[in-house]
Structure formats: C-alpha cells, structure tokens
Chains A and B, each alone.
Chain A
C-alpha cells in the first residue's frame, strides 16, 4: 500500500492509459464490456483522486512529489507533484471523466471502443498537465491532450465536426509552438542543464527577454483559456464536439490555460507578468461582456453554453490578473465551479439532443411540465452557472471581484455588469426551454430523467451547492500556495531590478 501512496500521481496518470489498453484489447463486438471497463478505470482514478485530497495537507509545499530521470542527457525528468493550484483540478478531471462517459453511455453508438480509448487517453494527458513540474514534461502532456480531443471532436461530433476539429488543433498547436520556442530559449538561458521548473525559476532573466518569453507563454495559454480575441476556436469546438467531448473541453481543457498562467508564466516571469497584468485584466473583462452579449442572441443551446464559458473564463483571468491572494484563490475556485456547472450544462444539452435530435432553443418550451425532475435539475444547474448565492460560483465570483477591486475598480464594475447580463441570458434561456406551453407536439411525451442520467447530474448539483456553503473546505487547501505566488510577484515588482528600465 505504501507503494501506492508514494506513487499516487503516477497511478493517476497511468491508470487511464492502462484502461485505454485494456479497452483496446476487448473484442470489437463486446461494446458493453468496453464501456464498463472504461467506466471502471475512470472510476478507479476518481477513487485514488479522493485519496489524494484526503492525503493533501494545507501547506504551500509540493506534495506527492515523484522524480525520476527521463532523458538525463538533456536534463529532462519525470517530475510530478501537486499543490494548492493543481490538487482540485486533478480531482475535477477525475470526477468529470467518468461522468462524461456515463452521460454518453447510449448516445455514442459508433466505434465505441475508440471513443472510450480516446476519452481515457485524454484523461491521462490532462492529469499529467496538472501534475507536471518539468517544463518539457508539461509540454509533452499539454500536446498529448490535443490528439485524443481532436479525434473525439472529429469522429463523434456533429455536422461541422471536421472543420471544428482542425481549427481546434491548429489554434492550440500554434500557441503551443510559441511556448516551445520560449521554453527552449529559457532552457538556454538556464545553462542548458535542466528543464525542471524549480531550477528554471531561479534563472535570472534579462527584463526585456522576460517580456518576450512571457508573451510567448501567455499567448499559448490565452488561446486555451480562451482570452478574447483568441476565442474563435471555442464555439466551434464546443458546439461540434459530442457531449462527453464538450464536458471535458469546457470542464477541464480550458482550465489548462489558466493553470498554465499560474504554474508557469507567472512564477517564471513575475516581472513581466506584473507589467502585462492590466492588459490581461482588460481583455478578460472584454471577454466577460462580449461573451455575455453574444449569449443573448444565441438560438443554439450548446452555442449559448459555449459563449458563456468565454465570459466565465474571463472572470478567472480577471482574478489571476489581480495578483491579490483573494483574487487568485477566487480564480482557482471559480475554475472548479465553472468546470462543474458548465460540464453539467453540456450534459443537459446532450440529454435534450438525445431526445429531440436538435439543439435549437426554439424547438423546446414547456418542458417543465413534461420532465419535472429534469427541469428542476436544469434550473439548479443554470442558477449555479450564473453564480447565485448558495452555489459555488457565487463564492468564486465574489472572491474575484473583491480581489480585483483594489487593483482596478473600473474593470471590477464592468465585470459586475457581466454578472447581470449572465442572469439575463441564462434565465431567458431557461424560460424559453422549461416554461410556457408545450409548443411542439414531439415535446409532449419526452421521457424524464432515467436512473443513469440522474446518477450523472445529481452528484454535480449536490457538489455545486456543497461548494457554495462549505467553500473553506476547498479554499483552505488553495490559499497557502497562492500566498507564496502572490508574494513572489509583489516582491519582484518592488525590487530594484524590477524597475531597471
């Protein structure tokens, strides 16, 4: 057992890979067995992730650290660990993957084997990204998530899936090659001896070069978040992806970008980060307002949820750009809330699509009477998404706003406007779908939630309420790490070398 405890993170990364291999070896006809195996493995990953949370102590230190030489001649090591920034994101990945698999249990009806293989590989890559403490390892995992997601969108997506898949791939890859160049320049500046994050953090970098390197990293991460105006891949990818793909995309993949800022771009180049912060904050707020406004005119359910993600991730970036402990903690917390609420929204959109084969909001109406249980959960998830008090999102957004107020009141006020708009588009959408008379005959006999669907949705709803009332349980483990990070940035901007120019 102690071996497991010492290698929990490797287990979390390798278990999905093992699962993918097992699924790949199951004969093609045994589809239920393939689905069960994939669910079992991802469930097992979640079980170990729970152990990870239990074993994690609220301190700023890296925990569950493992380190093995990978390419010693080149200074690359397999170095993984979790701290307050990554712990909950690992848990989020481990939670959403089995739920996404379960949500697509019957809606994926072709090439089931490959679907499950790619889902598991994607999970492994995502957990790897959040655990990696070696820059090259990080890059490897970062890119490794790209391939399974590309296939998930391209094979099982909707009508324009191929366009969306290629667009997603090229956007992300362009961003990440810039990161690779910056990474190699940094490696050279560090004496070409190590890709390790801790040793590269100690490298003294010329302020002018720092700006360039930060810009390259930031661009890669901003594409992923996505920060306005680099968001154009997102609506296509999220809308065209199958339900499980959308859940993982919105729930976890977007967080890779924000996490990249916190884990790499800011600690490596604190000086440049402080200089760029007002711009990032401004773009984040533009994203909040733009996303919300676009949501108001959507007629497609999934598109609305996709654009709302841009707005929500704008809040996350606003919190990060504030560089206050409260703001950054709020950003990390908001990532979890957004992952759960938006994941649930995409699952709900998927359930409607399964029943009616359409995503048009105008095709629905009056579902409240037809599917009472479904509608109740839909309403709760919608409220969670727009940060109504009592749900986790409220805590996250309040923390972000409180944190960003002292830095820039103007941006904060505009962001609050975004919350109002969010209430507008979400409640209006809910009204059009759930309330009023049943307009289409085909809606009058829709089946309410099945046991499987309830098993997917209820935990997410319960969790988001729990996160709204018991937030200290979560933030307690986030804060110590964030304190160190914020301290580092403020030291850097105050130190004389920071004002060299």
Chain B
C-alpha cells in the first residue's frame, strides 16, 4: 500500500521554510537585519493554500486515512491548521518588530516559529498517538528555545528552564498515557482505540480511564489548565513579549484542536467518565485563573493568568455533544486568538530600546499620545471580558450555550460570574490608559508598518466577528462536520 503524504504537506512546507530561513540567516552579515520575515510569510501562505486545496474528509474524527499513514486532512484539521497558520502570519511581524526593538534581530526566532508551527499543524491533524506525541514535542522544543531567546535577560532564561522542566514532565505523563492505551487496545491509532473502548472492556476499563487521565494531564499542561498551569505565568512573563503573544494563542489552538479530537474521537466511548473530570477542571481553571489575575501587578503576568482562565472557558464547551462542542471550541479559539494576540501584540510593539511597558503605571495616560493603539487595546480588553459586539462575547455565548445544552448550567454560571470578576482586572488597564494622567516623558515606540497593521487587523477582526458572526458560525459548522 502506498501512503498518501499529502495531509502532511502543510507541515512539511512550513518546516522546510524554517530550514531555508536558517540558511539565509547563516549567510547574512551578523550586524545586518534578518531578511527572513518575508520568506517565512510566503511559506505560511503557501502552506495555507495547500491546506485548503487538499481533498477533505467529512465525519469520523478518529478514522485513519484510507491510504494509510497517521495524519489526515479532514474538516477539523483544515480549519485548525488554517487558524494556526493565520495566527503565525499575524505573529511574525510582531516578532520582527519586537526583536528589532530589543536589538536582537538575528532571524533564528523566525525559524523557531516555523518549526513550532510545523509541530502544531501535525498536532491538529494526527490520528495516531505516536505522531501526535512527536508533533507535540516538535512544537514544545521550538517553544522552549523561543522562550529563552532573549539571551541577555536572566528572566527569559529562567522562564525557558521552568517551561522546559514542567513541559518535559508533562510529556512523560502524556507518554505514559499512550503506553497504557496501547496496553488496553493493542494499537496507537485512534480508530483502533475507539473501537476497543466501544466494546465491553471488562477489567480493562480502569486502565483505560487511567490512560485518559494521563492524557488529560499532558494536555492540561499544554493548555495551562489548573492545576497544571503553574509554569504559565512565569513563562509568559519571562518570554519575549512577541513570543508570548504567539504561544498564548497558537499553542492553545493546537492543543485544544488535538484535545478535542482525542477526547471526542478516540476516547469518546468513555465520555460519561471523563466529562465530570473535565467539568471539574474547567471550574477550577476558571476560578483560579481569574482570581489570580486579580492580584497581578505585572501586565504580562495578568494576561498570563487571564489566558489560563480562557482555557477554562474553552473546556466548558467540551462537556457537550461532539459536533456542538467542536463548533463552540473552534469559535472560541478564533475569537480568543485574534483578541489575545492583539492584546499581547500591543505590549510588544510598544517596546523601545530594550524596554517595554510592564506595569499599569507604564501605560497610564496612553490614550492621549496613542489614541488608535489605546482604542485597539480597549477593544481587545473588552473582548476578553466578553462584552457584546466583540468576538469575545460570541465565543463565550457559544461555549456556555454548549455547556447549557448538555445540562451543565452550573459551568456556564461559574464561567459568566468569573467573567464579571475578570472585568475588574481588564478594566484596570482601560482605566490606566484613559483615565489616569499621562507620564512625563514618552518612553515607548511609535507603532508603524507591518506590526501596526497586524494590531489594526486584529482589532477589526474582533469587531467584525462580534457584529457579524454569521460567517464564523458557518466555518465552525463546517469544521465540526468531522465530529458528526
């Protein structure tokens, strides 16, 4: 049997682009600026084109490709790959702008972003545990390096080390779960696992549940769900801000894409058992994330805890039936990605001469000097709060409606009350920007060029998706056809 390699093509293109970027940089004079941004953008665009032109399968989230192999191209993988690629394309200009501002524009960060994206693309299209794990590691290793890429700063090093140690730990959990599942089902493909779990398991049900638990722990680290979130604030704070923007969005997209496929595909026969566990984790994540964010003084740390909370919101969607859950997860991920990328992006593009705004005092009165950037930031924060006419509201509406349709109204109640709590810390930033007097001197960069365009696009997307969500709903419906 000849294996059809086409579903792996987007990931391969992106990985190759990364290699090309490295080679180009090797031949660029050390003092010069990296020229790889356009190469990388082209590579991502090409991968996006290929993603959409592949033959797409509908239905059956756990089925292996007919032609053999372990990655598929179905509606779910296409939708999430497209999202990852778009987030990557938006994150690259931010990254270039930021690394120029801290005078460390050497280009390898572009290559690392490419490798991370290649891993993410594999993650959302894998239907087999080993390739899933390898994709996860490709993504993670690139991210560890990216986190530590601000070499002159010790907090960046510290963040990378913490992220790496806990990440390695979680990988071990994940792998252990894979081993247990292999023991139960005798295979690593999702269809094999699903069919085994659907048949009477007898004494093996405990082992299967244990395996599911280990996988959930592994994913829990990647999506930063409580109680596996402790690395996130340190890593998000210490990493270069543009990297934080990228990893707080793209990683969540990829990890939730894979989590949805694994739990609603391979492990779906056990749904009655893992749903209560997931619901409990979701409640814990929403509460701890939001309450911890209240106490933060550092902006990046606050946004880090906020993204922990948002992982909790997404998890509430997963307790409902597969097609609806998948659609809600996708909608939330889209809304969250453009919003959070924008929010961290604003902080990143303000960086100048190696310094960047870190506290509320640093951005006080910003609205007078930078009305457009402040307005964009206000839009992002309002969207994170979940106020109507922004994408964030549409996302929350769908995930909580999904939870309620599965008779988990308590989850929705906790989530929405926590949204009201979150208003406090998001609004503090708006207060600082709009209601506090400005600083004496203007210490931050003026935003221009591609990075400014990215922020504008994100803000526009947040508003457009919030006011006219119909198209997003249609995309989500298509994406969720895999789970029909």
Interface residue ranges, A against B (CB under 8 Å): 70-74, 136, 139-140, 143-144, 146-147, 150-151, 154-155, 161-162, 165-166, 169-170, 173-174, 177-178, 180-181, 184-185, 187-188, 192
Knowing that A173-B423, A181-B416 are A-B contacts, what are 14 other residue pairs whose CB atoms are under 8 Å apart, sorted by A's residue number? A70-B470, A71-B470, A73-B473, A73-B474, A140-B388, A143-B387, A155-B434, A165-B431, A173-B385, A174-B420, A178-B417, A180-B400, A184-B409, A184-B412
In the complex, what's the smallest C-beta–C-beta distance from B428 to chain A, in angstroms?
8
Q: Verify if B69 is at the interface (C-beta below 8 Å from A).
A: no
In the complex, what's the smallest C-beta–C-beta distance from B293 to chain A, in angstroms?
14
CA distance A192 to B431 in the complex (A): 38
Q: Verify if B419 is at the interface (C-beta below 8 Å from A).
A: yes
Contact of A174 with B417 at beta-carbon distance under 8 Å, contacts A144-B389, A166-B431 already known: yes
Interfacial residues of chain B within 392-435, with CB under 8 A of chain A in the complex: 393, 397, 400-401, 404-405, 409, 412-413, 416-417, 419-420, 423-424, 427-428, 431, 434-435
CA distance A399 to B409 in the complex (A): 41
Residues from chain A with Cβ under 8 Å of B400 in the complex: 180-181, 184
Q: Verify if B51 is at the interface (C-beta below 8 Å from A).
A: no
The residue in chain A whose Cβ has the minimal distance to the Cβ of B417 is A177
| Contact between A140 and B389, CB atoms less than 8 A apart | yes
Residues from chain A with Cβ under 8 Å of B412 in the complex: 181, 184
In the complex, what's the smallest C-beta–C-beta distance from B178 to chain A, in angstroms?
37
Per-residue interface assignment for chain B, residues 358 to 382, with 1 indicating a CB less than 8 Å from any chain A CB and 0 otherwise: 0000000000000000000000001
| Contact between B388 and A143, CB atoms less than 8 A apart | yes
In the complex, what's the smallest C-beta–C-beta distance from B174 to chain A, in angstroms?
34
Residues from chain B with Cβ under 8 Å of A143 in the complex: 387-388, 393
Top 7 nearest A-B pairs (CB, nearest first) are A177-B416, A140-B388, A174-B420, A173-B420, A143-B388, A154-B435, A73-B473
Interfacial residues of chain B within 281-314, with CB under 8 A of chain A in the complex: none
In the complex, what's the smallest C-beta–C-beta distance from A208 to chain B, in angstroms?
14
CA distance A143 to B382 in the complex (A): 11
CA distance A146 to B390 in the complex (A): 14
- 11 residue pairs bridging A and B, Cβ less than 8 Å apart: A72-B470, A73-B474, A74-B473, A146-B387, A150-B427, A151-B434, A155-B434, A162-B431, A177-B419, A181-B416, A188-B404
| Contact between A192 and B473, CB atoms less than 8 A apart | no
In the complex, what's the smallest C-beta–C-beta distance from A241 to chain B, in angstroms?
13
| Contact between A192 and B427, CB atoms less than 8 A apart | no
In the complex, what's the smallest C-beta–C-beta distance from A80 to chain B, in angstroms?
16
CA distance A192 to B321 in the complex (A): 14
CA distance A173 to B420 in the complex (A): 6
| Contact between A180 and B420, CB atoms less than 8 A apart | no
Contact of A181 with B389 at beta-carbon distance under 8 Å, contacts A72-B470, A165-B431, A169-B427 already known: no
The residue in chain B whose Cβ has the minimal distance to the Cβ of A192 is B405
| Contact between B473 and A147, CB atoms less than 8 A apart | no
Q: Verify if B269 is at the interface (C-beta below 8 Å from A).
A: no
CA distance A174 to B386 in the complex (A): 12
User: In the complex, which range does the number of interface residues on chain B fall in?
Assistant: 20 to 34
A-B contact number at CB 8 A: 82
CA distance A162 to B364 in the complex (A): 13
| Contact between B423 and A184, CB atoms less than 8 A apart | no
Interface of B is mostly: helix
| Contact between A71 and B423, CB atoms less than 8 A apart | no
Residues from chain B with Cβ under 8 Å of A184 in the complex: 397, 400-401, 404, 409, 412
In the complex, what's the smallest C-beta–C-beta distance from B185 to chain A, in angstroms?
36
Residues from chain A with Cβ under 8 Å of B477 in the complex: 73
Residues from chain B with Cβ under 8 Å of A170 in the complex: 420, 423-424
| Most chain B CB within a 10 A radius of its CB, from A144, A150, A165 | A150
| Contact between B404 and A139, CB atoms less than 8 A apart | no
In the complex, what's the smallest C-beta–C-beta distance from B198 to chain A, in angstroms?
28
In the complex, what's the smallest C-beta–C-beta distance from B432 to chain A, in angstroms?
10
Q: Verify if B59 is at the interface (C-beta below 8 Å from A).
A: no
CA distance A154 to B474 in the complex (A): 39
| Contact between A147 and B382, CB atoms less than 8 A apart | yes
Residues from chain B with Cβ under 8 Å of A161 in the complex: 435
Contact of A177 with B420 at beta-carbon distance under 8 Å, contacts A143-B388, A184-B404 already known: yes
In the complex, what's the smallest C-beta–C-beta distance from A332 to chain B, in angstroms?
26
The residue in chain B whose Cβ has the minimal distance to the Cβ of A110 is B368
CA distance A188 to B324 in the complex (A): 13
| Contact between A154 and B423, CB atoms less than 8 A apart | no
Q: Verify if B469 is at the interface (C-beta below 8 Å from A).
A: yes
CA distance A147 to B473 in the complex (A): 26
In the complex, what's the smallest C-beta–C-beta distance from B295 to chain A, in angstroms?
16
In the complex, what's the smallest C-beta–C-beta distance from B306 to chain A, in angstroms?
16
CA distance A330 to B435 in the complex (A): 41
CA distance A150 to B378 in the complex (A): 12
| Contact between B435 and A162, CB atoms less than 8 A apart | yes
CA distance A387 to B229 in the complex (A): 60
Residues from chain A with Cβ under 8 Å of B388 in the complex: 139-140, 143-144
Residues from chain A with Cβ under 8 Å of B428 in the complex: 166
Residue in B382, B404, B424, B434 whose beta carbon sits within 8 Å of that of A181 in the complex: B404
Residues from chain A with Cβ under 8 Å of B393 in the complex: 140, 143
In the complex, what's the smallest C-beta–C-beta distance from B332 to chain A, in angstroms?
15
In the complex, what's the smallest C-beta–C-beta distance from B294 to chain A, in angstroms?
12
| Contact between B435 and A71, CB atoms less than 8 A apart | no
CA distance A194 to B434 in the complex (A): 39
The residue in chain A whose Cβ has the minimal distance to the Cβ of B428 is A166
CA distance A200 to B477 in the complex (A): 25
In the complex, what's the smallest C-beta–C-beta distance from A232 to chain B, in angstroms?
16
CA distance A14 to B401 in the complex (A): 29
Contact of A71 with B473 at beta-carbon distance under 8 Å, contacts A147-B382, A169-B427, A184-B400 already known: yes
In the complex, what's the smallest C-beta–C-beta distance from A343 to chain B, in angstroms?
25
Contact of A166 with B469 at beta-carbon distance under 8 Å, contacts A73-B477, A151-B434, A181-B400 already known: no
| Most chain A CB within a 10 A radius of its CB, from B387, B409, B412 | B387
CA distance A147 to B434 in the complex (A): 13
CA distance A146 to B420 in the complex (A): 13
Residues from chain B with Cβ under 8 Å of A136 in the complex: 397
| Contact between B434 and A185, CB atoms less than 8 A apart | no
Residues from chain B with Cβ under 8 Å of A174 in the complex: 417, 420
In the complex, what's the smallest C-beta–C-beta distance from B187 to chain A, in angstroms?
38
Residues from chain A with Cβ under 8 Å of B473 in the complex: 71, 73-74
The residue in chain A whose Cβ has the minimal distance to the Cβ of B470 is A71
| Most chain B CB within a 10 A radius of its CB, from A146, A166, A173 | A173
In the complex, what's the smallest C-beta–C-beta distance from B177 to chain A, in angstroms?
34
The residue in chain B whose Cβ has the minimal distance to the Cβ of A140 is B388
Residues from chain B with Cβ under 8 Å of A70 in the complex: 470
| Most chain B CB within a 10 A radius of its CB, from A74, A146, A155 | A74
Residues from chain B with Cβ under 8 Å of A173 in the complex: 385, 419-420, 423
| Contact between A154 and B405, CB atoms less than 8 A apart | no
The residue in chain B whose Cβ has the minimal distance to the Cβ of A136 is B397
CA distance A130 to B318 in the complex (A): 36
In the complex, what's the smallest C-beta–C-beta distance from A165 to chain B, in angstroms?
7
CA distance A428 to B308 in the complex (A): 55
In the complex, what's the smallest C-beta–C-beta distance from B481 to chain A, in angstroms?
14
Residues from chain A with Cβ under 8 Å of B409 in the complex: 181, 184-185
Residue in A144, A169, A178, A185 whose beta carbon sits within 8 Å of that of B423 in the complex: A169
Residues from chain B with Cβ under 8 Å of A147 in the complex: 382, 387
CA distance A155 to B389 in the complex (A): 22
| Contact between B431 and A154, CB atoms less than 8 A apart | yes
| Most chain A CB within a 10 A radius of its CB, from B405, B435, B474 | B435
In the complex, what's the smallest C-beta–C-beta distance from B424 to chain A, in angstroms?
6
CA distance A188 to B408 in the complex (A): 12
Residue in B382, B385, B416, B474 whose beta carbon sits within 8 Å of that of A180 in the complex: B416
Residues from chain A with Cβ under 8 Å of B382 in the complex: 147
CA distance A70 to B388 in the complex (A): 14
CA distance A463 to B412 in the complex (A): 46
| Most chain B CB within a 10 A radius of its CB, from A72, A166, A170, A184 | A184
Residues from chain B with Cβ under 8 Å of A72 in the complex: 470
Residues from chain A with Cβ under 8 Å of B434 in the complex: 151, 154-155
CA distance A136 to B417 in the complex (A): 18
| Contact between A187 and B469, CB atoms less than 8 A apart | no
The residue in chain A whose Cβ has the minimal distance to the Cβ of B423 is A173
